[in-house]
């Protein structure tokens, strides 16, 4: 008898179960217990996904073609739009197809790819939103040194750090999650492959995974959010010193859109990831995931374009 077999003999997981640890496919339950909601959700998600594609593509194209928009603010906004496009596309098509299928499956490999890409882009967006807050701080609080502080090379480095950090943490989370033995449990109580939902399938203790997920969530959620709050505290103090009402209005208007996006994105993500999977409310968690995956990414370009005269003017021309 091998050492592994001896260890299995004294564990709660059988040798036969271990042989089934890595299923060929997962079944995504979604709203299997409420099938009457499927077509309603299909219509809502299709609408949100279509508007996300149109809105974010428009921002990327307009920011690229209009020389007057070749500034740090629009460079980061284009990155945000690209992240949102990739994030929703990594999840949306598979979900829309599954709404029409009786057996809502996803292959093991597709689940790995979906989990890795969506988590990487979502994590990168957390860092990017903090970078965008710093850009607004530099513009409002350090206007005379803005071009030096936010030079092209520095902006590029900040964007690269956002992307690389997102893909690195996603690699760690994906490997740790999918190395867990599932012992034949392949029914994911979710619309897509997400870490908290997959941890619930594991037939072994997941406390280490939960601890690493919590630490990663603090680093990618609470730390950037704290930096955003500090940035806007300085911005608010600087704006209040402006004597002109028009000057205060203009300064606030450049920050309002970003604040709305931050509130929507961080509020829903924190709810999903900064709690133990054992306390993960099944139905509420799924609905919140749909919100930050499709509704928030759809609203981002609308929020920026509706409140931004430069983008509206560029589109109209």
- Residue length of the chain: 317
> Residue 314 above 80 pLDDT?
no
- Tokens 């209040």 locate to 240
Mean pLDDT for 107-136 is 92
Nearest to 310 by CA among 137, 146, 52, 71: 71
According to DSSP, residue 278 is labeled G
What is the rounded CA–CA span in Å between residue 297 and residue 178?
Answer: 27
DSSP letter for each residue of 189-233:
SSSS--HHHHHTT-SS--HHHHHHHHHHHIIIIIHHHHHHHHHHH
Mean pLDDT for 89-115 is 89
Contact of 22 with 182, CB cutoff 8 Å: yes
Helices (H), 99-222: 108-141, 146-149, 152-178, 195-199, 207-217
Q: Which residues contact 116 (CB under 8 A, 6 or more apart)?
A: 170, 171, 174
Mean residue pLDDT of the chain comes to 82
Residue 66: count of CB within 10 angstroms of its CB: 16
Contact of 29 with 189, CB cutoff 8 Å: yes
- 272-295, pLDDT tens digit by residue? 776 655 555 566 777 888 888 888
> Residue 5 above 80 pLDDT?
no
Q: How confident is the model at residue 119 (pLDDT cuts 50, 70, 90)?
A: very high
> Residue 264 above 60 pLDDT?
yes
For residue 278, list its beta bridge partners.
Answer: none
Break the chain into its structural domains and give their ranges: 23-316
Angle of CA points 107, 122, 30, to nearest 5°: 45
Query: What's the burial of 2, exposed, middle or buried (CB within 10 Å: 0-12/13-18/19+)?
Result: exposed
Q: What is the pLDDT of residue 217?
A: 87
Instruction: Considering only residues 208 and 7, tell me which one the structure prediction assigns the higher pLDDT.
Output: 208
Q: What is the pLDDT of residue 171?
A: 94
CATH H-level superfamily of 23-316: Rhodopsin 7-helix transmembrane proteins (1.20.1070.10)
- 27-72, pLDDT tens digit by residue? 888 877 777 888 888 999 999 999 999 989 988 988 888 888 888 9
Q: What is the pLDDT of residue 10?
A: 39
Task: Please state whether 183 falls in left (phi above 0), alpha (psi between -120 and 50) or beta.
Answer: left
- 122-171, pLDDT tens digit by residue? 999 999 999 999 998 998 888 889 999 999 999 999 999 999 999 999 99
Nearest to 189 by CA among 2, 316, 30, 37: 30
Element (H, E) at 145: none
* pTM for the full predicted model: 0.85
Q: What is the pLDDT of residue 11?
A: 45
Contact of 55 with 300, CB cutoff 8 Å: yes
Q: How far is CA 64 from CA 52, 77, 170, 292, 306, in A?
A: 18, 11, 29, 26, 19
> Residue 208 above 70 pLDDT?
yes
């Amino acid at each position: 008898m091998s050492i592994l077999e001896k260890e299995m003999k004294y564990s709660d997981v059988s040798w036969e179960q271990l042989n089934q640890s890595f299923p060929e496919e997962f079944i995504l339950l979604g709203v299997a217990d409420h099938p009457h909601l499927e077509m309603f959700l299909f219509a809502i998600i299709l609408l949100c996904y279509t508007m996300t594609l149109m809105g974010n593509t428009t921002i990327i194209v307009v920011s690229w073609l209009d020389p007057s928009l070749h500034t740090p603010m629009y460079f980061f906004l284009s990155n945000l739009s690209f992240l949102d496009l990739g994030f929703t596309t990594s999840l949306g098509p598979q979900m829309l197809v599954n709404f029409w299928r009786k057996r809502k499956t996803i292959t093991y490999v597709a689940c790995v790819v979906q989990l890795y890409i969506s988590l990487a882009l979502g994590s990168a967006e957390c860092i990017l939103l903090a970078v965008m807050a710093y850009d607004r701080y530099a513009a409002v609080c350090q206007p005379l040194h803005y071009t030096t502080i936010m030079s092209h090379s520095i902006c590029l480095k900040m964007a690269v750090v956002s992307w690389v950090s997102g893909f690195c943490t996603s690699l760690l989370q994906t490997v740790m999650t999918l190395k867990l033995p599932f012992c034949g449990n392949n029914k994911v109580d979710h619309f897509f492959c997400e870490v908290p939902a997959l941890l619930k399938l594991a037939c072994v203790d997941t406390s280490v995974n939960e601890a690493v997920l919590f630490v990663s969530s603090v680093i990618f959620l609470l730390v950037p959010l704290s930096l955003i709050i500090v940035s806007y505290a300085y911005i608010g103090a600087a704006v209040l010193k402006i004597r002109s009402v028009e000057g205060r209005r203009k300064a606030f208007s450049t920050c309002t859109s970003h604040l709305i996006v931050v509130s929507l994105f961080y509020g829903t993500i924190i709810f999903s990831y900064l709690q133990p999977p054992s306390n993960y409310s099944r139905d509420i968690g799924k609905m919140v995931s749909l919100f930050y995956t499709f509704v928030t990414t759809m609203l981002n370009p609308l929020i920026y374009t509706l409140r931004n005269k430069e983008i509206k003017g560029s589109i109209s021309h």
